[in-house]
Structure 1
């Protein structure tokens, strides 16, 4: 074999090796991003369980003793999501995760001794920490780069989850006030602040992603506006709320469930996109 042939064969071998290495790296990156998406879903599920625990515990603290079994169920949901998240090496190595692992057991044991304000504050602090962790997780796995069809895809795990948390807070506070049948001026001011924060969600992005990911059920904005009206008329303007605990909790939960359905559909879109790219 002459020198030219040897050189040509060597070049082809190197190109083939480079192609194999590139394919292996792409496959590994895809596997890592799948792991990131799975962890993001579990982190959302953990936040949802703590939000429900916050709302139900507020009703319990204000006299609605019937919520105890539902509270025990949410504690089991927290434990399940916590166990699944612990398998993710990135999450397990984060100080925010360590903070949660220390905070939740203490709150789980002591919430019955809290007043309404402290109970909401403790749950909310924990959830805020987890939402920061979700953004850290999305950044580490470069999840924003996954979508080729939708700009501002991080709306799903940033503004959408933050809005959902604000709704979770008004659900908790409003449920407590509905159970007590009374409210203080400070509590109504807090509701007004959250009401204003929720109303500032990017409606254009919300409607865009709703129409893209859940076209058969995109009515999130009307549901959100109806909840804002209820908060204003039944809780902010009434020192002695007459709305029932279950009615208010269900209405707020319907909006929250809708936002989380949109989140889940968006994550499923990213997973399908990755799968199609590497079939």
Structure 2
């Protein structure tokens, strides 16, 4: 009898170790995803102010210095925020990220517009892909990822299969579209001209942003009521529809089809940044919701013991 009890205790201990191991990993993943969300936002902002400075507006230089210092700090924080960083992000990925940022910063004031833009964009794409890869590790429920089967569904489960695509793909892709538009439009406003190549890019990005936002709003409308109630920063994006439309229409009217010299670069940048920040907050809100779901999964398993 004692031997049977010992076997049961050993089995439960192994289960506990398996669940807590996966739980800690997922907690680290969500922490990294939040840090990546803010890091990408900072690099996107750095791209925008760098383009404005390269266009000849020296007043943006202070912004460049501030954002560059922020990115440097965020890269250090990213590396030291969670215990499992080396396990989750390979040494090669770490080197590529640092190399990408070093490339962005190296003699950047001598960059051509397209060169500077592409350096930033390549690094941003790397970081977005990393976030997607991390998010893929959250798709499986905690119990099955731990090699166990849950006998009882947690009360009020957080539906990660609905949240993850928004957090790691749909919203970040729209943010990057808006950040590209902000950067190139601000540059054109400073220069007072938008050449044919940049004109085509802006028109295409505007069309993409409008389509992506329509799709996002449609997704928000169709999302479960309980998720809407818990994810206020997502539902609040609907309050930015008019402001977003004004931003995109202003760029179309003043930059693409109008006189760039009359456009106010600083106003464009500030308005675009305010809108982008709301979408970045929405991603943060989704990550918080996933964190809540992780805690519920763990608690649901614990009360079964």
Match for residue 116 of structure 1 among 108, 113, 116: 113
The alpha-carbon deviation at position 210 of structure 1 amounts to 6.3
Change (3 A) 1:157 1:223: farther
The equivalences for 1:73-112 within 5 A come to 73-87=66-80, 88-112=85-109
Q: Within 2, Cα distance between the matches of 1:47 and 1:274?
A: 24
Contact 2:37–2:284 (CA under 8 A) maintained in structure 1: no
Corresponding residue of 1:156: 167
In structure 2, the residue matched to 1:175 is 186
Give, in whole Å, the separation in 1 of the partners of 2:282 and 2:106: 33
Q: Secondary structure at the match of 1:148?
A: coil
Q: Distance in 2 between matches of 1:73 and 1:91?
A: 29
Q: Who is 2:132 aligned against?
A: 135
Q: CA deviation at 1:239?
A: 4.9
2:248 equivalent among 228, 244, 263: 228
> Are 1:214 and 2:232 matched, yes or no?
yes
- Matched residue pairs, number? 271
Unpaired runs of 5+ in structure 1? 1-5
Partners of 2:247 and 2:205 in 1: CA distance: 12
Instruction: Report the equivalent of 1:53.
Output: 46
TM-score, normalising length: structure 1: 0.88
Shift of 1:145: 4.6
CA 99–25 in structure 1, closer or farther in 2 if over 3 Å, else same: same
Provide Cα deviations, 1:36-88, integer angstroms capped at 9, x if missing partner. 01111111121111111100011111111011121111111111111122231
Residues 82 and 58 of structure 1: CA distance in aligned 2, closer, same or farther (over 3 Å): same
The 1:143–1:234 alpha-carbon spacing in structure 2 relative to 1, beyond 3 Å, is farther
Name whichever of 241-250 and 189-198 sits farther off: 241-250
Whether the 8 Å contact between 2:56 and 2:190 is mirrored in structure 1 is yes
CA distance in 1, matches of 2:140, 2:207: 28
- Preserved CA contact (<8 Å) 1:144 1:153: no
> What CA distance in whole angstroms lies between the structure 1 residues aligned with 2:121 and 2:176?
8
Higher relative contact order (CA 8 A, sep 6+): 2
TM normalised by structure 2 equals 0.81
2-structure distance, mates of 1:238, 1:267: 40
Query: Who is 1:194 aligned against?
Result: 205
Q: Which runs of 5+ in 2 are unaligned?
A: 143-156, 300-305
Q: Secondary structure of the equivalent of 1:120?
A: helix
